[in-house]
């Protein structure tokens, strides 16, 4: 069998890092979408603009890949050795940017100033999150509300007369199916464009949609080796607001099962927020046993903030129902309420701009 040129490229990434002129960067949640989209797009750019030496960088420290069993699973399926990939602790991004390298932002469209301090040149953007209105000269600046960045990358590569190999298609379709909960209408996360690309990509890698999705979901659900802190850390994102920083973690577990493994979950959450130095911390839980379900925990250091944010969110169609009264955490670091989120279509991508609007309004 002929060598897959995509895999051959992946094996060169590490050795080319110090000469990189284009850094294809996934977001700091480093979910499968960020990883898959960055790798496939970087290879496409490498075939189009080899002189710029594009490399993909995964925006987490290397050891945190172990918190993402679905990524480990699919990389192994593709025959990609994580040792060959570049993580945030393998490269000095600020130094590369100061040397003139430009960024290609994948699966995000703004940068956390505590992650990158150098003034970044952003060559292009491929994303499906809320448009923060930055880097307006990026070309293309593709920010479309589809279910997955993988859809945008697949469309772009195919329109650009590029190639997606079977392994590239496996990565992208895996990300796409996980992001859209197997293209389910109920989850409200997929569009016709996602469906069209999913069918195309599954055709390229020769996988059956349902079988592949369930295998991936099983890999993702294998949380047995993870502590509660790991669960909070593995898909944590942080933003700056005029009020201060705030964080949102997504945890793929039902609250009831989590509370069975962790008797004092409230303290673990308060401790995590204190450690991250965020006065507002939200945990969004998503589970599917048997039906897709969302739950939410809101932690705030201050009681008035907690009350204010909740009454604001109450008017935002989340259909939050508190499962018990607000409690002060045992270490007195803040206040916390757990909710059932009736509107399962509101994911972190949609919640974050709401929280941002509220926190920004406090200082006006």
Work out whether 235 is an interface residue with Mn ion (CB under 5 A): no
CA 176 vs CA 16, 179, 256, 258, 334: distances in Å: 29, 5, 28, 26, 37
Cβ proximity to Mn ion: between 107 and 194 the closer is 107
CB of 137 to Mn ion, least distance (A): 23
Choose the stretch contacting Mn ion; rule: CB under 5 A; options: 27-35, 51-59, 72-80, 195-203: 27-35
Work out whether 155 is an interface residue with Mn ion (CB under 5 A): no
In angstroms, rounded to a whole number, what is the distance separating the alpha carbons of residues 213 and 171? 12
Cβ proximity to Mn ion: between 33 and 155 the closer is 33
Does residue 202 contact residue 164 with C-beta atoms inside 8 Å?
no
> Which residue is nearest to Mn ion, using beta carbons?
33
Question: What are the b/e assignments for 242-281, b being 16+ CB within 10 Å?
Answer: ebebbbbbbbbbbbeebeeebeebbbbbbbbbbebebbbb
DSSP conformation letters of 71-136: HHHHHHHHT--GGGSEETTTS-HHHHHHTT-EEEEES-SS--TTT--S---EEEEEE-S------T
Work out whether 127 is an interface residue with Mn ion (CB under 5 A): no
Q: Which helix (H) or strand (E) holds 47?
A: helix 32-48
In angstroms, rounded to a whole number, what is the distance separating the alpha carbons of residues 250 and 75? 22
Choose the stretch contacting Mn ion; rule: CB under 5 A; options: 18-26, 142-150, 233-241, 330-338: 142-150
Residue 133: both structure tokens together: 């209105």
Choose the stretch contacting Mn ion; rule: CB under 5 A; options: 40-48, 105-113, 182-190, 355-363: 105-113
Choose the stretch contacting Mn ion; rule: CB under 5 A; options: 100-108, 212-220, 245-253, 278-286: 100-108
CB of 29 to Mn ion, least distance (A): 8
Phi, psi of 184 (to 5 degrees): -75, 140
Cβ proximity to Mn ion: between 120 and 147 the closer is 147
Work out whether 102 is an interface residue with Mn ion (CB under 5 A): no
Choose the stretch contacting Mn ion; rule: CB under 5 A; options: 87-95, 104-112, 163-171, 336-344: 104-112
Residue 118: both structure tokens together: 């150098």
CB of 331 to Mn ion, least distance (A): 34
Cβ proximity to Mn ion: between 55 and 105 the closer is 105
Work out whether 33 is an interface residue with Mn ion (CB under 5 A): yes
Choose the stretch contacting Mn ion; rule: CB under 5 A; options: 148-156, 230-238, 302-310, 352-360: 148-156
Choose the stretch contacting Mn ion; rule: CB under 5 A; options: 70-78, 131-139, 149-157, 213-221: 149-157
Considering only residues 258 through 317, tell me which ones interact with Mn ion, judged by CB under 5 A. none
Work out whether 107 is an interface residue with Mn ion (CB under 5 A): yes
Of the CA atoms within 13 Å of residue 310, those in its CB half-sphere come to 22
Report cis status (omega within 30 of 0) of the bond before 113.
no
Work out whether 70 is an interface residue with Mn ion (CB under 5 A): no
Work out whether 64 is an interface residue with Mn ion (CB under 5 A): no
CB of 87 to Mn ion, least distance (A): 18
CB of 107 to Mn ion, least distance (A): 4
In angstroms, rounded to a whole number, what is the distance separating the alpha carbons of residues 296 and 307? 15
CB of 152 to Mn ion, least distance (A): 10
Cβ proximity to Mn ion: between 151 and 165 the closer is 151
Does residue 313 contact residue 353 with C-beta atoms inside 8 Å?
no
Q: How many residues bind Mn ion (CB under 5 A)?
A: 3
CB of 32 to Mn ion, least distance (A): 9
Residue 323: both structure tokens together: 């499962």
Does residue 254 contact residue 285 with C-beta atoms inside 8 Å?
yes
Question: What are the b/e assignments for 40-78, b being 16+ CB within 10 Å?
Answer: bbbbbbbeeeeebbbbbbbbbeeebbebbbbbebbbebb
CB of 59 to Mn ion, least distance (A): 13
Binding region for Mn ion (CB under 5 A): 33, 107, 149
């Amino acid at each position: 069998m002929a060598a897959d040129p995509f895999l051959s490229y992946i094996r060169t990434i590490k050795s080319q890092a110090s000469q990189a002129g284009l850094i294809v960067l996934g977001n700091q949640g480093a979910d499968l979408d960020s990883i898959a989209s960055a790798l496939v797009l970087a290879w496409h750019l490498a075939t189009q603009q080899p002189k710029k030496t594009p490399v993909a960088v995964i925006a987490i420290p290397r050891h945190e890949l172990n918190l993402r069993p679905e990524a480990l699973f699919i990389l192994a399926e593709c025959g990609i050795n994580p040792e060959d990939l570049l993580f945030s602790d393998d490269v000095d991004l600020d130094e590369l940017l100061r040397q003139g390298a430009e960024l290609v932002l994948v699966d995000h469209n703004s940068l956390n100033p505590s992650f990158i301090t150098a003034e970044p040149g952003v060559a292009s953007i491929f994303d499906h999150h809320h448009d923060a209105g930055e880097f307006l000269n990026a070309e293309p600046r593709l920010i479309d509300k589809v279910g997955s960045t993988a859809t945008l990358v697949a469309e772009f590569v195919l329109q650009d007369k590029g190639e997606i190999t079977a392994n590239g298609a496996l990565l992208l379709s895996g990300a796409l199916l996980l992001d859209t909960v197997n293209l389910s209408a109920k989850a409200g996360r997929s569009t016709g464009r996602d469906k069209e690309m999913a069918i195309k990509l599954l055709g390229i890698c020769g996988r059956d949609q349902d079988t592949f999705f369930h295998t991936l979901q099983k890999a993702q659900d294998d949380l047995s080796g993870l502590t509660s802190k790991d669960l909070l850390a593995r898909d944590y994102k942080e933003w700056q607001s005029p009020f201060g920083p705030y964080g949102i973690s997504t945890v793929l577990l039902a609250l009831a099962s989590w509370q069975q493994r962790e008797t004092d979950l409230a303290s673990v959450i308060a401790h995590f927020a204190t450690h991250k130095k965020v006065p507002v911390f939200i945990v969004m839980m998503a589970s599917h046993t048997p039906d897709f379900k969302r739950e939410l925990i809101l932690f705030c250091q201050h009681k008035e903030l907690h009350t204010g944010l909740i009454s604001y969110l109450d008017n935002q169609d989340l259909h939050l129902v508190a499962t018990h009264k607000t409690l002060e955490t045992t270490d007195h670091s803040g206040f916390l309420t757990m909710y059932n989120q009736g509107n399962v279509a509101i994911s972190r991508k949609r919640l974050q701009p709401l929280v941002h609007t509220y926190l920004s309004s406090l200082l006006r």
